[in-house]
Chains A and B, each alone.
Chain A
Amino acid sequence: MPTSFIQPEFKVKIDYDKCHKCGRCVQQCGWGVYNFNERPIPDDAKCRACHRCVTYCPAHCISIEKNQLAYRDNDNWSPAARKAVWRQAETGGVLLTSMGNPLPYTRIFDHLVLDACQVTNPSIDPLREPMELRTFIGHKPDSVGVESDGQGGFRLAEGEGMKNNLKLDTPILFSPMSYGSVSLNVHKSLAMAAQRLGTFMNTGEGGLHADLYPYQDNVIVQVASGRFGVNPDYLNRGAAIEIKIGQGAKPGIGGHLPGEKINKEVSGTRMIPQGTDAISPAPHHDIYSIEDLRQLIYALKEASGYKPVGVKIAAVHNVAAIASGIVRAGADYVYLDGFKGGTGAAPQVIRDHIGIPIEIAIAAVDQRLRDEGIRNWASVIAAGSIRSSADVAKAIALGADAVAIGSASLMALGCHLCQSCHTGSCSWGITTQKPELTRRIDPEWGAEQLTNLVHAWSHELQEILGALGVNAVESLRGSRERLRSIGLDEQMNKVLGVKPAGM
């Protein structure tokens, strides 16, 4: 019997005429593709197409190709579907994968176009005029009560005004990614970048390592169903607290960080024994309904001196009603994670088939909160495959207050979307705890990469605002009039609240 029906996905080709025989590919590959016997000999079956070896080969003599095996044509049984069956027949297990949903669903962002000013109103040059991106995340009152200050001016009346909001210099945050699923150096890179950018990183559910304390004012600390690393000190260090109910890549299911990733540092941060699996239950076992959520929100507020408390949910069919409930339960923001959002590990069937696109979730939630007159009560953070500043602008125009980026931020650190985070052998040193791999990321370099990316997107967002003739991001937020759709059907336009181009 063959050991497997499944042939290698990729072919690793080395131009031995050019090869220096330096062995760097052997050293760089986290997957053990190469054996060195006078020259590097690749084992195609192990290759994940992460391009680490390609990037570091001094002779540029490595290329990775798709293994172009011909399969008998069958639109119904794609090669991927056949391979899945073979793999499950071999293993009897749930297929695991990572990063975001790669299936060819309609990418709604790519069917939306933005407006620009011509003649009747002027565009604004962001290089000459102020172009404001400052954003506040948190509860805002419906109105502002003022009183005379006795000197011809006004001051806030007792108890009035906006309180306890997160101040962002740009409406882009870093998504929650736990220490454990990513390395400490990744966490440090994110935290340093967040501080430099005037925005926030998010611990994810793995606690806050002591090395991040200097950056705690730019850190959102997460409380998830496993409650890893949660203690009063943790809650009080964060600028805000986030209750994680769900994740776009795996709505409705929990998490599993294998024991191999729980080294001494992760163990200390998560407050669990070294080498044990870290299992996050699917639900919070103290939240079986919305009134339970309210209790947890207020428990966390009480424990932290009323820091903002947000709730992260996966975008699912009934997302608008759920978000409304969350806002009424007292959350300061709702974090919506669309079904293309990334993950460090998820069952493939869940990642690829559960949840709804973030564009629809933003539109539905923003409209529902407006219909109920409670849009000011909480901010909406949108995530789940924000790929560019254009996506940022479109998400904001649909109604998001800010977006969060996970996959894009990891790409800034070298991630090539090889979808193998769950193996713990990331050659780029991102989703691994192996010291020889994690040291590949210098936090100082990582912070600069991340800062560059967010700066670049922010500049582009300013260009977009300028073209739209507005000089503050709040004038784009929810301004669906500035969006038009191309190639979406009427029902979808209605859901999104946008007109087709030409109208």
Chain B
Amino acid sequence: MTTARPRYAEEASYKIHGGCGLMGICDESGKLMSGEDAILAMAVQHDRGNGLGGGFAGYGIYPEFPDHFAFHMMYHDIQAKEEAEALFDQYFLVDLAEPMPTRPVKGIADAPLLWRYFLNPYPNKLEESELSAEDYVVKAVMQINSSVDGAFVASSGKNMGVFKGVGYPEEIGHYFRLEEYEGHTWTGHNRFPTNTPGWWGGAHPFALLDWTIVHNGEISSYGINSRYLEQFGYKCTLGTDTEVAAYLFDLMLRRHKLPMELACKALASPLWDEIDRMPEAEQAVMRSLRAVYGPGMLNGPFAIVLGFNGGMVALNDRIKLRPLVAARKGSILMVASEESAIRAVIPEPDSIWMPKAGEPTVARVQGMEWPIHGDLHLSPSDISCAVTGTEVSCDTVEVNA
């Protein structure tokens, strides 16, 4: 049967186009909300997808295991599970391993085996490795994704998880029984790919550690964005724009230590006309950002919600070619592709607005750290291997043919 087991290395050997709907909600006071709201927000945006991908990320959902890395796993078959678990045993002390709680839902078929693990590195092995815990985890993710056929790590962060699959998001949400979880931050995604990959791992959100990204858009600058990232060692193999956006955030925030605001400005740059009118000091920053990160600028229509343990950031493209609406009610900030999604969850918001093109909309959970992975030191090729599951040898750059 091994021939039937897919290499979960990549979704498709060609670039996948698509449109989507998305949402994000965050209670900045840290108060927990049921996943039902996220499902509702995506359900009213049903028509923005075509049933080929839906997913959610929830933060603060595992208060009983706040300091454990929570691995959400997808397995093609039992053999993949056994092989991955053998690796877990090698690296981690697994405190709980259980099947993901699911319920039968009409429309959801061909689910992989879905398991979750709450684990921590063996202290002695972690010490031997001379890595930070985060590096250690990412390396393990990388190894599973690249060397275990038919196994895929959907998420690997602390006190968070990604729930995704092939189906409409409300179906996926109910399948994963999200109404039973409570989190301070939720993001959701409805996918409209222009092909039929039927691969659960290909749905959004994409995640590494506690970072997740949901994305509506088609990056018209994908070609140069991916070549730019390859220069730093990232390897773009999923053939999706989302991956490019994720790596660009990693490059700018973690590697180049840009503040989130400026990283957003680099990804969705102001127009030169606007820059020319800025005060001199600001102009100097923006001119350099645009000139230096020009190849990384995401050009073309997109709306992105980046989730992490400290909150979320929503960002639109530089001339707002994809919809993004934001609203605030008390300590709750919500964004979505459509106002209807917001009204479904918050019928009477204090304020509701269209975030300006390229202006990040930021929610910070009180008392939580801002999201730089200070303890993650791995190289871009390691990061991309972890996300995409390509071979470790992926640090060799090939001609983009």
Contact = CB atoms under 8 A, between A and B. Distances in A.
Nearest to A478: B224
B137 to A, nearest CB: 26
A219 interface: no
A370 B259 CA distance: 26
Interface stretch (A17-25, A207-215, A469-477): A469-477
A469 B269 contact: no
B401 A376 contact: no
Contacts of A480: 223, 227, 400
A469 B259 contact: no
B335 to A, nearest CB: 21
A373 B229 CA distance: 10
A370 B292 contact: no
Interface stretch (B214-222, B367-375, B383-391): B214-222
B224 A475 contact: yes
Contacts of B400: 367, 480-481, 497
Contact of A475 (B221, B259, B287): B221
Given A469-B300, A472-B299, A478-B295, A144 B284 contact: no
A136 B397 CA distance: 27
A493 B401 contact: yes
B272 A132 contact: yes
Central interface residue in A140, A141, A144, by most chain B CB within 10 Å? A144
B399 interface: yes
A370 B222 contact: no
A48 interface: no
Interface residues of A, number: 53
18 contacts: A120-B19, A120-B218, A121-B217, A121-B300, A121-B321, A130-B271, A140-B292, A144-B258, A144-B288, A153-B281, A154-B285, A373-B231, A375-B295, A469-B220, A472-B297, A476-B224, A480-B223, A497-B400
Interface stretch (A160-168, A289-297, A419-427): A160-168
Interface string B174-201: 0000000000000000000010000000
A370 B397 contact: yes
A404 interface: no
A154 B262 contact: yes
A144 B293 contact: yes
A156 to B, nearest CB: 5
Interface in A102-149: 117, 120-122, 124, 129-130, 132, 134, 136, 140-146, 149
A160 B220 CA distance: 30
A475 B297 contact: yes
B282 interface: yes
B353 interface: no
Contacts of A13: none
A132 B300 CA distance: 14
A417 to B, nearest CB: 34
A136 B291 contact: yes
Interface in B286-344: 287-295, 297, 299-301, 318-319, 321
A130 B357 CA distance: 13
Q: Ordered nearest first, which 3 A-B pairs have the shortest CB separation? A: A481-B223, A474-B294, A479-B223
Interface in B109-135: none
Interface in A393-447: none
B350 interface: no
Central interface residue in A143, A375, A476, by most chain B CB within 10 Å? A143
B5 interface: no
A171 to B, nearest CB: 12
A120 B292 contact: no
B269 A472 contact: yes
Contacts, number: 151
Given A120-B17, A120-B18, A478-B227, A149 B281 contact: yes
B288 A162 contact: yes
Interface residues of B, number: 54
A499 interface: yes
Contacts of A493: 401
Contacts of B299: 469-472, 475
A132 B271 contact: yes
A482 interface: yes
Interface string B228-271: 10111000000000000000000000011111011000000101
Central interface residue in B259, B282, B294, by most chain A CB within 10 Å? B294
Contacts of B95: none
Contacts of A469: 218, 220, 299-301
Contacts of B230: 370
Contacts of A149: 281
Contacts of A146: 258-259, 262, 285
Interface string A356-374: 0000000000010011010
Contacts of B224: 474-479, 481
A387 interface: no
A470 B227 CA distance: 17
A468 interface: yes
B98 interface: no
B64 interface: no
Contact of B227 (A120, A153, A370): A370
A478 B223 CA distance: 8
Contact of A141 (B18, B257, B292, B301): B292
Nearest to A397: B223
Given A122-B301, A155-B281, A471-B319, A144 B221 contact: no
Given A142-B256, A498-B401, 8 more contacts: A121-B17, A161-B284, A373-B231, A375-B295, A470-B299, A477-B224, A479-B224, A499-B401
B401 A497 contact: yes
Given A129-B319, A154-B285, A494-B399, A162 B292 contact: yes
Contacts of B222: 479, 481
Given A120-B194, A472-B294, A475-B224, A367 B399 contact: yes
A470 B288 contact: no
A144 B218 CA distance: 27
Contact of B285 (A124, A156, A376, A477): A156
Contacts of A481: 15, 222-224, 226, 400
Contact of A153 (B14, B282, B292): B282
A212 to B, nearest CB: 28
B270 to A, nearest CB: 10
B292 A143 contact: yes
Contacts of B297: 472, 474-475
A493 B226 CA distance: 18
Central interface residue in A130, A140, A154, A498, by most chain B CB within 10 Å? A154
